[in-house]
A = this chain, B = another copy of it.
Amino acid sequence: MPQLPDADTLLEALVAQMAPHVTDDTALVGIYTGGAWLAERLHERLGIRHPLGTIDVSFYRDDFGAKGLHPQLRRSDIPFDMEDTPVILVDDVLFTGRTTRAALNELFDYGRPARVDLAVLVDRGERQLPIYPRYCAHTLPAPIGSGQRLQLSKADDGTLSLRLIDA
């Protein structure tokens, strides 16, 4: 496994990719938890007008039954009108695509968006669904194996960094 890229550098690359496509009507929705932290930063840097949305897909994943019941409540919050709004869905790491599919389904529960684009900090590859990001700051050069999970961590001082943890 090569050294993980610096989260701040990737964030800047993502801002540069997204900025030319952001309009007054664009809304941002982060996938809890890593995607939500990333979306907070993007929301500020891109000057998004709509308040930031958050999606928690714990109850939507297709392997939900296998993983057992999560005791916490859903933390989804969509504080804007989804109907006909162009939405950018934000996640820290794109892997199989199953989380993205679940997040899309939850978004559509709130209304029919004009479009949904996907923005991710890192694409780790090994996709299992026909999902693809419009904006992506970094693609891993090689698989990291199913035993490990790559995710964005947030330190007490708010600093974001990419970490490998056991899956």
Q: Tell me the A residues contacting B by CB distance below 8 Å.
A: 62-63, 89, 100-101, 104-105, 108, 112, 114-118, 127-134
- Docked complex Cα distance between A131 and B131 (Å): 5
Q: State the Cβ distance, A146 to closest chain B Cβ, in Å.
A: 13
**Complex contacts, A128 vs chain B, CB 8 Å:** 114-116
8 contacts between A and B (CB under 8 A): A62-B108, A62-B112, A100-B130, A115-B127, A116-B128, A117-B130, A131-B131, A131-B132
B133 contacts A130, CB within 8 Å?
A: yes
- Docked complex Cα distance between A101 and B114 (Å): 15
A130 contacts B116, CB within 8 Å?
A: yes
**Complex contacts, A130 vs chain B, CB 8 Å:** 89, 100, 104, 116-118, 131-134
Given known contacts A62-B112, A63-B112, A115-B129, what 15 new A-B pairs fall within 8 Å (CB)?
A62-B108, A89-B130, A100-B130, A101-B101, A114-B128, A115-B127, A115-B128, A116-B128, A116-B130, A117-B130, A130-B132, A130-B134, A131-B131, A131-B132, A132-B132
